[in-house]
C-alpha cells in the first residue's frame, strides 16, 4: 500500500472505510461504557440520570402491580402445624431496641378523609369482631415465614370510622418512627387485618404491640407495627423505606 500523505482529506477515503472507522469507534465507546457499568455499579446507581430512569420504572411498576392486583384473590392460608417457630424478628433496628408502647394510655389516632376522627383505646379495639389468619409473611430480602395473626378486618374498621374508600391511600405513623402507606384496594382486601394478637397471644412488643396491620398480599415492610396514627388521603404519603427507594406498591 502506498504511504498516504498527511494532507489527505477524509473525502479521499471511501465511504465504506469511514463507516468502518465509525463502527469501530462506536464499539469501543460501547465497550468502555460496559466496563464502566461493571466497575462502578454503585456510582452508576447514584448517577442522577440513571436514578431518574430507575425511579420512573419503579413508579411504572406501581401502576402495573395495581392492575395485576385482584381484590378477590386470597393469599394461601396454612394449618397451624406450618407456622414458623420461632418467627423471625425484623425491623430497621435491633431486637434490643424494640419500642415499648404503654397499652393503658394508648390511643389510635384516626385522621384524614374519615367521618369519625375520635381516637380508639385498646379495650374498644379488642371489643370489635375479630378474625384470624395463618399466612406467609414474605420479606423484601427474600426470606419468608408463616405466622398466625388475629384482629379486625381492616375494611370493617374503615367502614366503622366512615372512611372515604374512594380515596387513594391509607397512611400509617408508628411509635418506632416508622411509616408506610398502602393503596385503598389493598386496604379493603378481605385478608387485610388490623391485628392485636400473634399466635393467639397479645402481640409481644417485638411483633408490634399494640397493633400491626397484617397484609398477606404485600411484602413484610408494608405491614406496619406499633401503629399510633392512621390517615386516609389522596396525596401520596410515601414511607420510611419507600422514600429511600424501595418500591411503593410491593405487592405479592
Partner 1 sequence: MEPSQTHWVEIHPLIVRVTHWINAFAILIMVTSGWRIYNASPLFPFRFPNEITLGGWLAGALQWHFAAMWLLVLNGLVYVTYGIVSGHFRRKLFPLWPRAVLHDVLEALRGKLAHDDLSMYNAAQRAAYLAIIFCLVVLVFTGLAIWKPVQFQQLAGIMGGYEGARFLHFGAMALMVFIALVHIVMVILVPRSFPTMITGRARRTS
- Interaction of residue 61 with partner 1, rule CB under 8 A: yes
- Interaction of residue 75 with partner 1, rule CB under 8 A: yes
Nearer to partner 1, 27 or 127 (CB): 27
Binding segment (CB under 8 A) for partner 1, from list 51-59, 118-126, 197-205, 230-238? 51-59
Q: How many Cβ atoms are within 10 Å of 185's Cβ, its own excluded? A: 16
Q: How far is the CB of 17 from partner 1 (least distance, A)?
A: 10
Owner of C-alpha cell 427507594: 245
- Interaction of residue 58 with partner 1, rule CB under 8 A: yes
- Interaction of residue 53 with partner 1, rule CB under 8 A: yes
The number of helices, as runs of H, and strands, as runs of E, in the chain is 6, 10
Question: Which residues contact residue 124 at a Cβ distance below 8 angstroms, ignoring those fewer than 6 apart?
Answer: none
Cell numbers describing residue 156: 370493617
- Interaction of residue 23 with partner 1, rule CB under 8 A: yes
Pick one of 112, 171, 237, 251: the residue that binds partner 1 (CB under 8 A). 251
Cα–chain-centroid distance for residue 125? 26
**Among the listed residues 67, 66, 41, the one whose alpha carbon sits nearest the alpha carbon of residue 54:** 41
Around 219, how many Cα atoms within 13 Å sit in the side-chain half-sphere? Answer: 18
Contact residues toward partner 1 (CB under 8 A) are 14, 23, 27, 34, 37-38, 41-42, 44-46, 53-55, 57-58, 61, 68-70, 73-76, 136, 138-144, 216-217, 241, 244-247, 251-252
Amino acid at each position: 500500500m502506498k504511504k498516504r500523505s498527511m494532507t489527505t482529506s477524509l473525502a479521499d477515503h471511501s465511504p465504506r472505510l469511514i463507516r468502518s472507522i465509525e463502527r469501530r469507534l462506536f464499539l469501543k465507546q460501547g465497550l468502555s461504557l460496559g466496563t464502566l457499568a461493571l466497575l462502578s455499579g454503585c456510582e452508576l446507581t447514584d448517577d442522577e440520570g440513571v436514578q431518574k430512569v430507575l425511579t420512573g420504572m419503579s413508579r411504572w411498576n406501581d401502576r402495573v402491580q395495581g392492575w395485576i392486583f385482584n381484590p378477590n384473590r386470597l393469599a394461601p392460608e396454612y394449618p397451624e402445624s406450618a407456622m414458623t417457630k420461632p418467627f423471625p424478628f425484623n425491623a430497621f433496628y435491633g431486637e434490643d431496641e424494640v419500642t415499648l408502647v404503654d397499652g393503658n394510655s394508648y390511643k389510635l389516632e384516626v385522621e384524614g378523609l374519615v367521618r369519625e376522627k375520635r381516637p380508639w383505646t385498646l379495650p374498644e379495639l379488642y371489643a370489635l369482631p375479630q378474625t384470624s389468619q395463618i399466612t406467609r409473611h414474605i420479606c423484601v430480602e427474600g426470606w419468608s415465614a408463616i405466622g398466625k395473626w388475629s384482629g379486625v378486618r381492616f375494611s370493617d374498621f374503615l367502614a366503622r370510622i366512615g372512611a372515604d374508600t374512594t380515596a387513594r391511600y391509607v397512611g400509617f405513623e408508628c411509635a418506632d418512627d416508622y411509616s408506610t402507606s398502602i393503596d385503598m384496594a389493598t386496604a379493603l382486601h378481605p385478608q387485610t387485618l388490623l391485628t392485636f394478637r400473634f399466635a393467639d397471644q397479645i402481640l409481644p412488643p417485638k411483633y408490634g404491640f399494640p397493633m400491626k396491620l397484617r397484609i398477606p398480599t404485600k411484602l413484610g415492610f408494608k405491614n406496619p407495627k406499633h401503629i399510633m396514627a392512621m390517615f386516609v388521603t389522596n396525596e401520596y404519603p410515601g414511607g420510611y423505606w419507600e422514600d429511600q427507594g424501595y418500591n411503593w406498591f410491593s405487592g405479592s
